[in-house]
Amino acid sequence: MTENKTVPETVVDPVCGKTIDPRKVQFTAKDDKGTHYFCSDKCLRRFDTADAKTKKGFWERYTDRLKKTHCTQTPPECR
Ligand SMILES: [Zn+2]
């Protein structure tokens, strides 16, 4: 069960930006960036069928959301 330590408590769905629990989610995809989690098979399919440019857009939004999530937890460090 030590493997659980590598799973973060929450992850962000790169397609819709929802925060989800990776332990409850059933929709995942793997690529060179690692494992990605999706709230629904709709989002998974959107990610799967996206071209490289669209995917890049997903990732920009994704990292943006992560930063914002981090900021709400530790506001002073973000200013
Ligand atoms: Zn989603």
- Per-domain boundaries in the chain: 8-78
Distances (CA, A) of 3 to 6, 8, 23, 65: 6, 11, 12, 26
Separation of 42 CA from ligand 1 center, angstroms? 7
> How many other CB atoms are there within 10 angstroms of residue 64's CB atom?
12
pLDDT at residue 58, rounded to an integer = 85
- Model-level pTM? 0.67
Angle at 47 between CA 44 and CA 53, to 5 degrees: 175
pLDDT band at 61 (very low <50, low <70, confident <90, very high): confident
Question: 46 CA to middle of ligand 1, Å?
Answer: 9
Question: How many angstroms does the Cα of residue 14 sit away from the middle of ligand 1?
Answer: 7
> What is the CA(48)–ligand 1 centre distance, in A?
13
77: pLDDT strictly greater than 70: no
Distance in angstroms (rounded) separating the CA atoms of residues 34 and 70: 20
Looking at every residue in the chain, the average pLDDT score rounds to 82
pLDDT tens, 18-32? 999 988 999 999 888
